[in-house]
């Protein structure tokens, strides 16, 4: 049997079962062996019947102690069989499985596993898992050939139609018939440096662990392997991509623009600026992620490099995920660049067709130096004369493909992507494996902690009073609601909506204060007008949906009230909170929820407890699990079989180390000499590229 053989060569795999296996993604013997259990039951300890206790999940090893009995009760067919293991008696019950009465034999010994109940005196187990004790099973704890008891038993992630028993049987069949060891592809020196078991040992023990220690060794090896291969693939991908020649920026003196900024850069901003400057002079196209917490001043970094692009004779583009944010960027760029005679234009969906055409023409002729916009920039008919720098803001809102389309509008332009959802560095390496990473941790000086409170809706009146006080001091407030208008849907009846809440506030709690509302169903012009009036300080209170979630910068806003906070994810709450505290003024975030849900409570506690975006995203990752977290963050992440990117962070670090030691690097290119490993990596590389291209 070969790893590449079709699973249909296995005994007991007919057409029907084959189709079911295909549903699980199992086509070859190797797929089957790499179909790892999601959990285990420890049935290695065999209990004596006289030692059982009520509620115990137990496995006993026993003979029958009497003939099966049949009963009929409440329309159910009940089978009862008594067993005796020499220390005591137990009664086992099954429902609606009359054929079982024929199956049990008095001269066969059985493993019986299930939840023990102590009824009126006697022990019972209902609908247990049963397996005849294999002939060669040793007397002790190990079940040897047994698959469902007398050992640690695997539980596979399954869909209807395939039972645990069937899958265990198939895998056992393969393991038993593998005469040779399962081939190793990891280089020997890595196995020994990192104390990893052989692949043969790992595969056998991940399915049928001999003991706890064997399981942990097996898992470690396979997690290491998985992370190593994935990162190896990404490193190779990066080698290919980054090898693209890029324009060298001769002039990286940004002092003119720095002089016009009303502040000095923070040390972290300076560090990032110098990292990018190195990229720009390297002769290769920059491909860098800038991650920095909300309010850390990423826009300034973007401005500096747009300025340098112009000085070096190329055009720059800045893409933002919402029109509101694009407009805001456009305005601040105009302010900064106006005096240098640099042409900055805006291209968003709501620009009038005639004007759009004119902008596109001027872009193509090279008259426009910097263009700022939304998805509108991606369209095919947007062409540049000489695009040399592409910046994507809040990149987690875009798909890989969208970014790619923009990048393709220039000839190997330098690429910067910015994100305010910071994640632990080792994870970033996986998610953005094809990019270099810069991090801004520090906030600009003078920022105060945003005081965060979580209260129930009973506190509304007091909070309205608080908002009135802030407005009286000349400050402004955001009020966020999860819905636009009242819904017919019963599920939403307790959820605050923008339209209704704004009405209530105008006539009650915030009467007399200039208040406007904003939501995604409004026309872009209308939205822009409202945002402009809020940014100018004319509107004091903005009642809004999450359309303001990313990027919006109105430093005079000092309070954000979030209704039905339980409806938002942790990272989303952090982003929303980041709309305040954007100046030296003391700011507040008030979360309102009446939910008693445990996870909600943890999220709220996290918000109240910390302002640190890195901590928040780690907690978010913990609470949601990596699948969910990455699902909403970025498309094109390879699915992990076994590794948990959060819990296996330690191993992730080790594999990074191993990669850099094992790959022969000529600064930007990676080479692997080891053939079996290379083949494995190339296979994965194929998959990644399929996803992301
Ligand atoms: P984000 O990283 O969330 O995109 P912004 O770039 O919008 O943050 O910056 C947030 C605010 O901080 C803006 O008002 C900006 O002018 C200000 N800012 C940026 N850098 C500094 C700095 N070094 N010192 C003081 N204020 C700064
Ligand atoms: Mg920003």
Greater model confidence, 96 or 160:
96
Question: Of the ranges 320-324, 441-445, 626-630, which one carries the lowest mean pLDDT score?
Answer: 626-630
Q: Compute the distance from residue 285 Cα to the ligand 1 centre, in Å.
A: 27
Q: Compute the distance from residue 613 Cα to the ligand 2 centre, in Å.
A: 14
Over 50: is that where the pLDDT of 692 sits?
A: no
Greater model confidence, 342 or 667:
342
Greater model confidence, 513 or 233:
513
Q: How confident is the model at residue 203 (pLDDT cuts 50, 70, 90)?
A: very high
- 266 CB less than 6 Å from ligand 1? yes
3-state secondary structure of 25: coil
Placement of tokens 């220039």 in the chain:
410
Greater model confidence, 296 or 399:
296
Q: Do the Cβ atoms of 221 and 651 come closer than 8 Å?
A: no
CA dist., res. 557 & res. 579, Å (int):
8
Residues in Cβ contact with 329 at an 8 Å cutoff, skipping those fewer than 6 apart: 299, 302, 318, 320, 372, 393, 551
**Average confidence (pLDDT) over 45-59:** 92
At 666 the pLDDT is: 44
- 233 CB less than 6 Å from ligand 1? no
Q: Whose atoms come closest to the Cα of 393: which ligand?
A: 2
**Average confidence (pLDDT) over 91-114:** 92
Residues in Cβ contact with 680 at an 8 Å cutoff, skipping those fewer than 6 apart: 185, 229
Question: Of the ranges 19-23, 279-283, 371-375, 639-643, which one carries the lowest mean pLDDT score?
Answer: 639-643
Listed residue (19, 106, 10, 111) closest to 66, CA to CA = 106
pLDDT digit string, tens, across residues 476-488: 999 999 988 877 6
At 246 the pLDDT is: 86
Q: Whose atoms come closest to the Cα of 444: which ligand?
A: 1
Ligand 1, pocket-test mutation among 290, 295, 556, most atoms within 8 A of CB: 295
CA dist., res. 230 & res. 253, Å (int):
39
- 297 CB less than 6 Å from ligand 1? yes
pLDDT digit string, tens, across residues 162-188: 889 899 999 999 998 876 788 899 988
Instruction: Return the ligand 1 atom nearest residue 302 CA.
Output: 6
HSE at residue 677, side-chain half, CA atoms within 13 A, is 22
- 265 CB less than 6 Å from ligand 1? yes
Over 60: is that where the pLDDT of 114 sits?
A: yes
Question: Which of 116-120, 178-182, 563-567, 681-685: highest mean pLDDT?
Answer: 563-567
Q: Compute the distance from residue 304 Cα to the ligand 2 centre, in Å.
A: 14
Q: Burial level of 578, CB count in 10 A (0-12/13-18/19+)?
A: buried
CA dist., res. 240 & res. 686, Å (int):
13
Instruction: Return the ligand 1 atom nearest residue 269 CA.
Output: 23
At 279 the pLDDT is: 92
Instruction: Return the ligand 1 atom nearest residue 555 CA.
Output: 14
Q: How confident is the model at residue 627 (pLDDT cuts 50, 70, 90)?
A: low
pLDDT digit string, tens, across residues 411-440: 999 999 998 877 766 677 666 766 788 989
**Average confidence (pLDDT) over 41-54:** 90
Torsion angles phi and psi, residue 359, rounded to 5: -60, -45
Average pLDDT, the chain: 87
Greater model confidence, 579 or 672:
579
Tell me the angle at which helices 164-177 and 199-207 cross, rounded to the nearest 10 degrees: 150
Instruction: Write a three-state SS string for 50-111.
Output: HHCCCCCEEEEEEEECCCCEEEEECCEEEEEEEEECCCCEEEEEEECCCCHHHHCCCCCCEE
**Sign of the C-alpha dihedral, residues 169, 171, 172, 177?**
positive
């Amino acid at each position: 049997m070969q790893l590449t053989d079709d699973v249909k060569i296995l005994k007991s795999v007919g057409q029907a079962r084959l189709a079911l296996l295909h549903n699980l993604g199992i086509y070859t013997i190797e797929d089957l062996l790499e179909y790892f259990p999601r959990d285990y039951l420890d049935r290695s300890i065999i209990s004596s019947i006289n030692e059982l206790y009520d509620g115990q999940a137990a496995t006993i090893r026993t003979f029958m102690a009497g003939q099966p009995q049949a009963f009929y009760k409440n329309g159910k067919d009940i089978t009862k069989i008594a067993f005796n293991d020499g220390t005591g008696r137990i009664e086992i019950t099954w429902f609606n499985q009359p054929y079982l009465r024929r199956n049990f034999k008095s001269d066969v010994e059985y493993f019986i596993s299930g939840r023990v109940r102590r009824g009126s005196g006697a022990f019972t187990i209902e609908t247990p898992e049963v397996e005849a004790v294999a002939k060669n099973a040793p007397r002790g704890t190990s079940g040897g050939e047994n698959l469902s008891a007398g050992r640690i038993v695997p539980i596979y992630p399954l869909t209807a139609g395939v039972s645990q028993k069937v899958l265990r049987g198939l895998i056992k069949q393969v393991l038993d018939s593998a005469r040779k060891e399962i081939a190793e592809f990891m280089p020997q020196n890595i196995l020994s440096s990192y104390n990893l078991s052989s692949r043969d040992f790992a595969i056998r023990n991940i399915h049928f662990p001999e003991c706890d220690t064997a399981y942990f060794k097996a898992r470690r090896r396979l997690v290491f392997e998985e992370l190593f291969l994935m990162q190896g693939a990404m490193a190779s991908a990066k080698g290919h991509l980054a090898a693209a020649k890029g324009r060298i920026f001769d002039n990286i003196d940004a002092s003119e623009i720095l002089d016009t900024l009303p502040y000095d850069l923070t040390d972290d901003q300076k560090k990032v600026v110098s990292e990018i400057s190195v990229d720009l002079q390297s002769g290769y196209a920059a491909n860098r992620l800038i991650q920095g917490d909300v309010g850390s001043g990423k826009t300034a970094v973007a401005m500096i490099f747009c300025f340098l692009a112009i000085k070096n004779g190329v055009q720059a583009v800045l893409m933002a995920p919402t029109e509101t944010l694009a407009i805001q960027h456009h305005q601040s760029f105009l302010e900064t660049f106006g005096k240098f005679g640099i042409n900055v234009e805006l291209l968003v969906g709501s620009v009038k067709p005639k004007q759009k055409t004119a902008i596109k023409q001027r872009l193509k002729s090279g008259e426009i130096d910097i263009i700022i916009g939304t998805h509108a920039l991606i369209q095919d008919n947007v062409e540049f004369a000489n695009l040399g720098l592409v910046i994507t803001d809040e990149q987690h809102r875009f798909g890989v493909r969208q970014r790619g389309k923009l990048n393709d509008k220039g000839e190997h332009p330098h690429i910067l992507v910015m994100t305010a959802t910071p994640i632990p560095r080792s994870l970033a390496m996986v998610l953005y494996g094809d990019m270099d990473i810069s991090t801004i941790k520090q906030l600009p000086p003078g920022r105060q902690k945003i005081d965060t409170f979580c209260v129930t809706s009973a506190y509304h009146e007091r909070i309205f009073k608080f908002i009135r006080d802030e407005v009286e001091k000349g400050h402004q407030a955001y009020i966020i609601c999860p819905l636009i208008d009242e819904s017919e849907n019963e599920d939403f009846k307790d959820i605050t909506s923008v339209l209704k809440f704004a009405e209530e506030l105008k006539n009650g709690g915030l009467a007399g204060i200039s208040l406007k509302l904003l939501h995604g169903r409004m026309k872009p012009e209308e939205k822009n007008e409202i945002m402009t009036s809020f940014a100018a300080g004319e509107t004091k209170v903005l009642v809004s949906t999450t359309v303001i979630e990313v990027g919006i910068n109105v430093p005079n806003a000092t309070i954000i009230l979030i209704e039905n906070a339980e409806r938002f994810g942790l990272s989303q709450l952090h982003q929303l909170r980041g709309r305040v505290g954007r100046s030296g003024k003391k700011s507040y975030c008030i979360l309102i929820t009446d939910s008693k849900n445990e996870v909600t409570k943890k999220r709220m506690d996290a918000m109240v407890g910390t302002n640190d975006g890195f901590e928040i995203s780690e907690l978010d990752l913990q609470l949601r699990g990596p699948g969910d977290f990455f699902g909403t963050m970025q498309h094109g992440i390879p699915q992990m079989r076994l590794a948990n990117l959060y819990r296996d962070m330690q191993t992730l670090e080790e594999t990074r180390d191993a990669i850099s030691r094992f790959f022969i690097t000529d600064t930007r290119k990676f080479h692997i000499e080891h053939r079996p490993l290379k083949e494995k990596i190339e296979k994965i590389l194929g998959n990644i590229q399929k996803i992301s291209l």
